[in-house]
Structure 1
Amino acid sequence: MARLKDRGSEAGLREFLLEGAVAFRDMYGLASTGCWEALSQPVNLLVGREPFSFSRFELPPNHPLRRHGALHDRLTLTEGDELL
């Protein structure tokens, strides 16, 4: 039986953040010459499974940590999908 890679406690969070980043890039990326490249940076970090820093208000509405601290607090999703 194949073993699944441990994806950390926030397995679905990376996908949630990626969907938002792609939608934002697709909506505003063509506004000017450098917009697509600038808005692709978060997408590339998330797709590449690299650490990603974001604001607490970007958590899903039902995430338990959304109500702890201020909405502008910075959080980091590690390459192992752990939330710091």
Structure 2
Amino acid sequence: MARNPYKEIAMQHEYDQERAERLILNLRVEIRGLKRRLRDERDAAESGLSPRWQKSVAQLRADCARYRKERNEARAALEALRRG
């Protein structure tokens, strides 16, 4: 059976909790920034829409937010029923 040098290196490597937490935090910050840039670009693209369409898009977003909130509440209630 052939040796896997990468596995040996991985086995020798010590897990650094602080470094892992910093990496996770940095990734979260980067993701938040990317989401903000996407949202800004989308809003800029939608600003060229007619007022009627802008109103429709705003209504769709509000509906999505309401449905998402209801979905999350239902999931939480279901999880509470499963536990208790």
Normalised TM-score (structure 2): 0.26
- Larger RCO, structures 1/2 (Cα 8 Å, 6+ apart): 1
Which structure has greater helix proportion?
2
Q: Report the structure, 1 or 2, having the larger strand content.
A: 1
